[in-house]
Amino acid sequence: MHSARVPAAVDRTLPETSGSGSRGLLHRPWRDYLLFLAIVGPNLVLLGVFTYRPLIENIRLSFFDWNISSDDITFIGLSNYREWFTRDDTWVIVGNTVIFTVAAVVGSMVIGLALALLLDRQLRGRNLVRSVVFAPFVISGAAIGIAFQFVFDPHFGLVQDLMTRFGLGNAPDFYQDPHWALFMITVTYLWKNVGYAFVIYLAALQGRRQDLAEAAQIDGASPVTYFRRVLLPQLRPTTYFLSITVLLNSLQVFDIINVMTRGGPLGNGTTTMVYQVYEESFRNFRAGYGATVATIMFVILLIVTVAQVRVMDRGTAT
């Protein structure tokens, strides 16, 4: 019998079975793995050194009483946590944080979406207006805080001048009333950061499905119906994304508060949890207690973020 010969064209397509070919297949995953480590490894090292190590060190420090003006550091267990839950000013500061954060998140998203809808049209000079709306986002918060001090000054500020011109009497004393002071901080934050939400929403609007808009127009849907039933569902992933990023940003606001009110008036009128970390650590020199506040804030933020992500997953799945 004659053995069947494999055609040359087929023979060239068969994988090599020699020892060298087998070694190449065995060693190729290791080369890919080493390449992956070479690319990602430095980033992982930096992430561990500058993110996770300080986080772990902060949690460890929260169990100590440490005055940073001296070298004395004493292990006190959960005493810092018990003090935080029993202090009179704790819930005032938590309330300030919640009010400011909710107002910042809702205000940024509502105003940003409204501006995006307004400027998502063929208008003369719209590119200039878009740049003007976004520009404050890249300006230092400290610089904006200094500028808005002149806006809200109770004697010669812009608000006082406008109220006098329109016969509305004197403006509220934004620097003495805690409620108006928190309102002032919130308005300043929104003026600086609403451009971020505006740009994200504008990008989402420009990527929306035009066929759905045309179908709604053919069906005779009103603008309100189109917005609620067609446009908002398309913007849902963007809204979830913004709710997380704006929340993280608003909880870290320090510069505006430090420049405009330094946490006052009346002690803790505009003090938020992140500003309390600074006050306890660097004004009162209680680094251990400041680390405790930071740890509690991290846990709260982690819980809220996980809840937001789960809601986002359910919303996008439906």
For the cut 90, the answer to whether the pLDDT of residue 38 exceeds it is no
Domain harbouring 242, CATH code: 1.10.3720.10
Domain co-membership, 86 together with 47: no
Domain co-membership, 82 together with 57: no
48 in a domain, yes or no?
Answer: yes
Mean pLDDT of 266-275: 92
70 in a domain, yes or no?
Answer: no
For the cut 70, the answer to whether the pLDDT of residue 25 exceeds it is no
For residue 215, give Cα distances in angstroms to 44, 65, 171: 48, 66, 50
* Number of structural domains the chain divides into: 2
118 in a domain, yes or no?
Answer: yes
Distance from C-alpha of 18 to C-alpha of 122, rounded to nearest angstrom? 66
Q: What is the 3-state secondary structure (H, E, C) of 66-100?
A: EECCCCCEEECCCHHHHHHHHCCCHHHHHHHHHHH
270 in a domain, yes or no?
Answer: yes
Calculate the average pLDDT of the chain. Answer: 86
The last residue of a domain, from among 6, 31, 61:
61
- The CB-side HSE value for 147 (13 A sphere, CA atoms) comes to 12
Provide the token pair at 180.
Answer: 């108006």
Lowest mean pLDDT among 105-114, 164-173, 221-230: 221-230
Domain co-membership, 174 together with 216: yes
Parent domain of 56: 17-61
- pLDDT value for 5: 52
Residues 6+ apart with CB under 8 A from 227: none
Distance from C-alpha of 315 to C-alpha of 311, rounded to nearest angstrom? 6
47 in a domain, yes or no?
Answer: yes
Domain co-membership, 35 together with 96: no
For the cut 90, the answer to whether the pLDDT of residue 287 exceeds it is yes
Which tens digit of pLDDT belongs to each residue from 187-199? 999 999 999 999 9
pTM to 2 decimal places:
0.83
Lowest mean pLDDT among 4-18, 46-60, 74-88, 114-128: 4-18
Mean pLDDT of 309-315: 79
Mean pLDDT of 213-235: 83
Domain co-membership, 55 together with 192: no
- pLDDT value for 27: 53
